[in-house]
Amino acid sequence: MIAPEITTEGAVLNRVQMARISAVGTAVPKTLMTNEALSKFVDTSDEWIVTRTGIRQRYVAKDGETASDLGAEAAKIALAKAGVSAADVDLIIVATITPDMVLPATACLVQHKIGASKAWGFDLNAACSGFLFALQTGVQYVSNGVHKNVLVIGAEIMSTIIDYTDRTTCIIFGDGAGAVLLQQSTALEGGCFIDFLHEVDGSGGEFLNLPGGGSKHPTSHETVDKRMHYIHQDGKAVFKFATLKMSEICLRLLTRNGLTGKDIDLFVPHQANKRIIDAAAERIGAPPERVLINVDQYGNTTAGTVPIALNTALETGRLKKGDLVLMATMGAGFTAGAALMRWGY
């Protein structure tokens, strides 16, 4: 491992982290909900949704289908692709804001479902930045040599926390999961993580939250009557933050690695709104043909968006060995993250 250079701001510069993604798996529910179908029970239209968000459809879980179901399915696919047995998994990190239950952690349920008999694990909540935060956490365990096989999963059943009478939120979200397997990288050309920059700003909490059911507002008839068990969002404030922050954090990450947007082979941003992605890509200077967009197909699957987008990139031949990949997210918190990696297979 190359020794990190630390700046006066505490940033870790040019630290090549000897971990790589060696497989990706995804899982979405079978039920497809088009904009047309949504417009049958909420006052909206396909035209409005497509124009304002770029979303055309999303998948929604059937009753009883859980984050651990989708997470386990995605994990099994990733393990099969890598030819790794579940019994050889060391650690499972699940990023989710829609855990099956408050406890136990969804990671425990995934561990049991896939038969990862020797693994430990935990959940991580950073909303839409959850997958990138979990990924960076997993990278630490692999690159420091502690673990050989780490599963990082983003899994959400957003349809369980969406108010389908609120047209400003229900049109955006979808259900889905993505899993990646992290393994040690034997050589730089075999893929590696290069650098990351993650942030939280709790002053943004008022603009995007789910207030009911926690220690501040324990579930009661009153919290349910007030619909506090659903996501509440100030769309405009979130939009503004997302547009500015995703580009700002990416530019800082690129600059401190001596790169510009033109050096990136593929930009894989959080998929919440095509207008946010377009604005961020333009500010970063990433050419449109190098920007992965699949929000039209899946909507915003929160912690699921980045691994599902990586899978889309692989399936459509837009990601190949050696590519320089920039991933970026923003979400409730506010949280924001960016990570640079060299794709390894």
Catalytic residues: 128, 270, 300
x/- mask, ligand UT7, residues 24-53, rule CB under 6 A, reads --------------------x---x---xx
CB of 173 to ligand UT7, least distance (A): 8
Applying CB under 6 A, among 235, 248, 296, 314 the residue interacting with ligand UT7 is 235
Distance in angstroms (rounded) separating the CA atoms of residues 246 and 9: 20
Between the CA atoms of 311, 172, 293 and 137, what dihedral angle is there, to the nearest 10 degrees?
-50
Q: Does 272 bind ligand UT7 (CB under 6 A)?
A: yes
Which residues in the 151-180 window bind ligand UT7 by CB under 6 A? 167-168, 171-172
Distances 27 to 77, 94, 115, 175 between C-alpha atoms, Å: 9, 14, 18, 9
Alpha helices in 61-122 (DSSP H): 67-82, 106-114
Contact flag: residue 238 with ligand UT7 (CB under 6 A): yes
- For ligand UT7, the binding residue among 62, 112, 226, 236 (CB under 6 A) is 236
| Per-residue interface string for the shown chain with ligand UT7, residues 112-151, x marking contact by CB under 6 A | ----------------x-----------------------
Min separation Cβ 284 and ligand UT7, Å = 17
Judged by CB under 6 A, the stretch of 71-79, 136-144, 233-241, 248-256 that binds ligand UT7 is 233-241
Instruction: Enumerate residues 241-260 that contact ligand UT7 by CB under 6 A.
Output: 242
Rounded to 5°, the CA angle 275-279-285 comes to: 145
Q: What is the dihedral of CA 113, 117, 118, 124, to 10 degrees?
A: 10
